A and B are shown apart, each in its own frame.
Chain A
Amino acid sequence: MVNFIKRDKDDIYSKPILGFLFKNQKFLLTLKLVVLFIFLYAIYYGFAHTGKDNNFTYAVFWGIFWSLFMVITLPTFGRIFCGICPHGFVGKYITKFGLKKTMPKWMQNRYIGILLLVIGWWGIYYMFPGLFRTPLGTAALFTVMTFIAFVVYFLYKDMSYCKYICPIGTLTRAYSKLSFTWLGTYKSACNECKTFECATACPYNLKPFTFDSRNSMTDCTLCMDCSAACEAVSFKTKKPSFSLFSKFQTLKAEVWTFILILASIPITMSFHHGIGRSNAANDMIWSKTAEFLKNYINFGSVDAVGLFAFLYALAFTVVAALIGMFIASKILQKDFKKIFYDLGYSYAPLFILGSIAHSLETFFMRGYERIVEGFAQGFGFSVDVASLAKRGDSWLHMFGLLKWVAIAWALIILYKRIKLLDASKVRKIIAYPFAASLVIFFLSVNIYRGHIIDTYGRASGGHGSHGGGAMFQSVSKDKAIILQSGKDKHLCSNCSMKLPKFYKTNHAAHLKDETKQYCSIHCLSEAKNIKKMPLRDLKVVDVTSLKFIDAKEAFYVVGSKKKATMSEVSKYAFALKADAIKFSKRYRGRVVNFAEAEKIAMKDFDTPAKNMASKPSVSDVVYFSDKNPIPKKGKGSHGGHSHGGWGKVPSKKVWPLFEDSSEKLRCFDDIKAELYLLDANLKVSKLNQSRDRGCKSVSFKMPANGYYNLFYKAKDIENKTLYISTSKYEYMRFNHSNDAVYDNEKMAAHSIKEVPFDILRLREEGETFYHRLYSGEKIRFKVLLDSKEIKGANVTLSTKTGWSKTVKTDKNGVAVFTLIQDYFPDWDKFDRRHQNKFLITATYTKDAKGEYLYEDYDKVKYTSTYSSLYYPGESSYKSYAYGLFAASAAAIITGFIIYFFRKRREKPFKEVKFNEKN
């Protein structure tokens, strides 16, 4: 034993704050006592408050202990969780007075703990979701575990419970190998030591002075008792997982922990919660197995799908690990067991880093709020905090990086461990990918999950609701209060939707002697204000108590994230203002009174969709727009983008529009014209209008790079004149791929024979896939009539600001315009990607006799449109003069500075003479 030692720089004990936290015995004792108190109190609280309103027990056990604190500390500081664990803390004293027997051989089996965790906890978790997470379940579980722990501590010596029975004992031991801390000793002091205080002090009967030479901390739980006994004990920072980079005595149970935990947590979660919440969930093998077996076995309340997802995950994971390692061992010509347990340590990072990501994400989204509010509740005061992040906040995706770090880390450990083996280099290289089989399996499960969710989409109901897709508004039939009577009393008086299904937005009112009940404020307002029914005594359901209250006294939360009934903007009513504010904090939205809510509800009825759609008269000019004429509320309408995720064929949606005689913009309620698409490979196909309600649109897919031309052609006859109206929408799709070839032939402007009158935008010299139109540029159009250039057609360019210019085509059928600059915003609002829309209209009248729809005509009037956009020219925001000035000023000023600096030195800077040629 030594009383003083000069500590190394990397020794945590020598650091000012961390050293105190990890070494000061009084502090550690206090900390352990506090943790023990919270632990016992949370259990007591769980028994005392079994209701759902008990947030405290949940916060302690499932908010902090597992998984937040544990998974974050394990791969960083190591097993400090065990160091402050109440079981170990009390167990040390129990053992002191206990029987100190040796544990029987059959119980000295680490698989007891592992299987308790994998089957006893995770198996049950997937079979009966939510069982343990109730306050009572949690309290009961931890009481039983504590009882078992204390009995085992009393009977057996050396803290055998922690080593063999504790469900997370082996888990923490295994994953702490990734940490960057290391408990060891100073060799110089230990060499002369004869008393071994550190070993005597250790409640686990370990020998800290052998840790360094064995390259393993074995069962050390970082309780720091040894560091109190002798100063030669060190606690150093090292490279993360450094001990895995050299040899040590492997422990089979640890490798199995890595595999089984990987199977039961991330893999099963990917299966059951990831893929299981997509639309393809029912096609997966575990769902099918469960469905199939349901015909023969009665599962009762067991979640069969979860159970089979778990079983399949276990099977797949174990098989993936075994097969890969078996092949690797054959290639390396080594004993399978040696290879398996030597290289299996590379699996360590896979679970734990992903789990950190998940825990942190949960913490920022919900955990923080639950923990703070839970603890406040436990200690008898009330606070209300908002969560730190919202689902979908983009910075939360940062944590997604950890999964890739885990995979890289696993591959590095595998590389280092395979290097330690004694085999030829070629064999090692060939064996490497096979030994990495489980890493590859983990990677592919992740890729597959992403693929499934991208391709099939998330099933509605989404995350968070374990029991299927019930809507927020719904309550069960027996809970819904139905005020009206009659046969259809369960249906909304206005729209006949089921009332209990939308109960939380239900309204009611008196009409003469009758009571009418409505599904929502939307239907109520429709009856009251549009159908002008004399409704009185308006009532609404209070979301908190689910009872009807006076609507005029209620507090409405408008525009929250919870879905609305019959509307895009949700409106939920509360009797108490505090409840309304709390709700709006959680789900956003604002608190208003009934009159305001009714006004907002009435806005549903004046959306433009209902009075916008119509059909054009013969003289109306029709053109395509890529912007939805009815902008969606809330979301900024940003047209011009093509849709399509990664790996999907992008598509484009456009709306044909026209202005009616009163110059009001209108869209089609039914497109009665012919629609053609000329794709990038110059193939013509016919298109159909969308099945949207309201404004009709046309969409087309764009699989290849190049121009896509959409044509509209309509014919009509009136006053002995045949009107032929065409319009064209030209769009270039380019995916920025390096393989794209700009084929001048294909990329040129094309017309199709189905369209008699057409406008072509002629390509300029040297156009590429990056081509765009800018203000100040010349733009040339060619007008074709029956595929021949036509002279003397009127061509008009009009911009959004109302500027227009008309020219006649020359003998080649070409009209030339200069795109004017008509975008003059304030400097701070300037957007260089501002899209100036413009419309080209070509008209031509020809005398021709003929018959259309059994009516004669003696004139044909052709109209064609071409809509596109241009961007502000570079000269409107870029300056060469200033640029050149900045660069040359910098050059000249530095030049002078250097010149004068050199001149001022009387003696030149001590020059080193040598032949500069070399």
Chain B
Amino acid sequence: MKKIRDFINKADIKRFRFWLQLFFFVIFIYGGYFAINLGNSIPVFSCGYDREVGGMCYFLPLQHQLARPLDVLFSVASISVLIGFVTFLLWFIVFNKAWCGYACPLGTMQDWLTGLRKKLGIRYSTYTQPQFNKLKKIKYIMLAIVILSPIAVGMGLLGGEWRTAFCQICPGRMITPLFVGDVSQWSLDFSTKSAMILTSIGLVFTGLFVVGSFIKKRFFCFFCPMSAMHYIFSDAALLKLKKDGDKCTKCGDCYNVCDMQIKDIADDVESTNILRDDCIMCLKCVAACPEDDALHVDLVNYPIFKSTKGGFVKRMEIEELEKKND
């Protein structure tokens, strides 16, 4: 038992993550080729506009369901909306935000762009703290668009093209189908004014997405409404990222490796549940923490991955460095 635990704690989380991301990428983007269908309540951006999708992003069906006429929406007929939502929750509460860090195809693409940048030796960008605090609110605005715009369609306030307003401006709609050779989403729709505005915003966002995630790690996740939606329900999740403030030395390693620039991970020594709304639960911080047990990942209060001195030493290749120095 101890051996297994030691093995896990010393694991090369980076490699593990790379392969798991690739696995989920294939499942979600190419699932259709293998007749895999995980339904359409998946809590990641595996875009439904990809015709071979192996499990659809929950927002596409959610928006369609919310756009029903209000009297239907608030009637018994909408039990199906509830069922979809419960399925979403069931998927989500098992892995919490680890969906973002390990399964989201759009996140994986950003990680690959980051890898490319690293290969090219280009410096990455960061936000300053005030910028960070302002920008992080955008994802809640996006979530409001996801929910309110189809309801407004159902009320008859907006035209039908606002039904999936968020999908129209989401870069995932353009980029994801590219992987199965479908470029049909890369077009500007001139059929109505609002369709034109929405699709051009979407295409501009796609351009920004590519450049942004090239120079800023996980650029889009910062504005992702799914991330906001996750955070609302994250208290109920089974998988948790926890911190033992007493053991923290505030060395800042965790903050430095964090793709999402979450300061609390290093600064906050009060809260035990250290998951913040931007967190993608990539567990880089746990891997980078040099203190025994300061950070750990719990599944229903049972720690499955802990920060350890040994693991830190192994991952940093300190022993080899020392050997070299000798």
Contact = CB atoms under 8 A, between A and B. Distances in A.
Interface of A: 394-395, 397-398, 400-401, 403-404, 446-447, 450-451, 646-647, 738, 827-828, 830-832, 874, 877-880, 882-884, 886-892, 894-895, 898, 902, 908-909, 911-912, 914-918
A878 B188 contact: yes
Contact of A890 (B40, B208, B316): B208
A887 B73 contact: no
Given A886-B200, A894-B212, A911-B123, 8 more contacts: A446-B76, A828-B193, A832-B192, A874-B187, A879-B188, A890-B204, A891-B211, A918-B288
Interface string B180-207: 0001101111111100000110011111
A880 B211 contact: no
Given A395-B155, A886-B207, A890-B208, A915 B70 contact: no
Contacts of B77: 450, 646-647
A918 B316 contact: yes
A812 B75 CA distance: 53
B38 to A, nearest CB: 11
A397 B72 CA distance: 9
Which among B191, B193, B287, B288 has the highest number of chain A CB atoms within 10 Å?
B191
B206 A887 contact: yes
Contacts of A447: 76
B215 A886 contact: no
B31 interface: no
Given A450-B75, A831-B191, A918-B257, A394 B155 contact: yes
28 contacts: A395-B70, A397-B71, A398-B70, A398-B155, A446-B76, A450-B77, A830-B192, A832-B189, A878-B188, A878-B189, A879-B187, A880-B183, A880-B187, A882-B187, A884-B186, A886-B204, A887-B186, A890-B206, A890-B211, A891-B208, A891-B211, A894-B211, A895-B211, A902-B123, A909-B125, A917-B14, A918-B257, A918-B287
A655 B215 CA distance: 62
A394 B69 contact: yes
A911 B122 CA distance: 13
B207 A891 contact: yes
A918 to B, nearest CB: 5
Contacts of B186: 880, 883-884, 887
Contacts of B154: 394
B243 interface: no
Q: Which 7 A-B pairs have the closest CB atoms?
A: A890-B207, A400-B74, A397-B70, A891-B207, A646-B77, A886-B203, A877-B191
Contact of B190 (A398, A831, A877, A908): A877
Nearest to B288: A918
Given A878-B190, A914-B257, A883 B208 contact: no
A655 B212 CA distance: 57
B315 interface: yes
B211 A898 contact: yes
Which among B37, B157, B203 has the highest number of chain A CB atoms within 10 Å?
B203
A916 B14 CA distance: 11
Contacts of A884: 186
Contact of B203 (A403, A883, A894, A915): A883
B323 to A, nearest CB: 17
Contact of B74 (A403, A874, A912): A403
B207 A888 contact: yes
B310 interface: no
A887 B75 contact: no
B104 interface: no
A915 B192 contact: no
Contacts of B210: 891
Contacts of B137: none
Nearest to B256: A914
A167 B75 CA distance: 33
Interface residues of B, number: 52
A882 B188 contact: yes
Contact of A394 (B71, B253, B288): B71
Given A887-B174, A914-B257, A918-B14, A401 B74 contact: yes
Contacts of B253: 914
A894 B207 contact: yes
Interface in B107-160: 118, 123, 125-126, 154-157
A646 B76 CA distance: 9
Which among A827, A882, A909 has the highest number of chain B CB atoms within 10 Å?
A882
A889 B207 contact: yes
B242 interface: no
Nearest to B80: A646
A887 B191 contact: no
A887 B202 CA distance: 8
A398 B154 CA distance: 10
A915 B290 CA distance: 14
Contacts of A830: 190-192
A892 B118 CA distance: 20
Contacts of B39: 738
B74 A397 contact: yes
B284 interface: yes
A878 B74 contact: no
A131 B68 CA distance: 41
Contacts of A404: 74
A171 B186 CA distance: 61
A782 B174 CA distance: 38
Contacts of B69: 394, 397
Contacts of A394: 69-71, 154-156
Nearest to A913: B256
A898 B126 CA distance: 12
B131 to A, nearest CB: 13
Contacts of B125: 898, 909
Contacts of A912: 256
B183 to A, nearest CB: 7
Nearest to B204: A890
Nearest to A403: B74
A892 B206 CA distance: 12
Which among B39, B77, B206, B211 has the highest number of chain A CB atoms within 10 Å?
B211
Contacts of B184: 874
Contacts of A902: 123
Given A877-B190, A878-B187, A888-B207, A451 B76 contact: yes
Contacts of B287: 918
Contacts of B192: 830, 832
Nearest to B125: A898
A883 B188 contact: yes
A398 B193 CA distance: 28
A446 B78 CA distance: 13
Interface in B280-300: 284, 287-288
Contact of B73 (A395, A397, A738): A397
A889 B186 CA distance: 13
A646 to B, nearest CB: 4
A902 B187 CA distance: 32
Contacts of A911: 123
B230 to A, nearest CB: 20
B27 to A, nearest CB: 18
A247 B179 CA distance: 57
A911 B123 CA distance: 9
A526 to B, nearest CB: 39
Nearest to A736: B64
A887 B74 contact: no
B64 to A, nearest CB: 8
Contacts of B75: 400, 450, 646
Given A394-B155, A395-B155, A877 B208 contact: no
A898 B215 contact: yes
Interface string B247-269: 00000010011000000000000
A743 to B, nearest CB: 16
Nearest to B114: A916
A915 B315 CA distance: 11
B260 to A, nearest CB: 15
A915 B14 CA distance: 13
Nearest to B315: A918
B70 A400 contact: yes
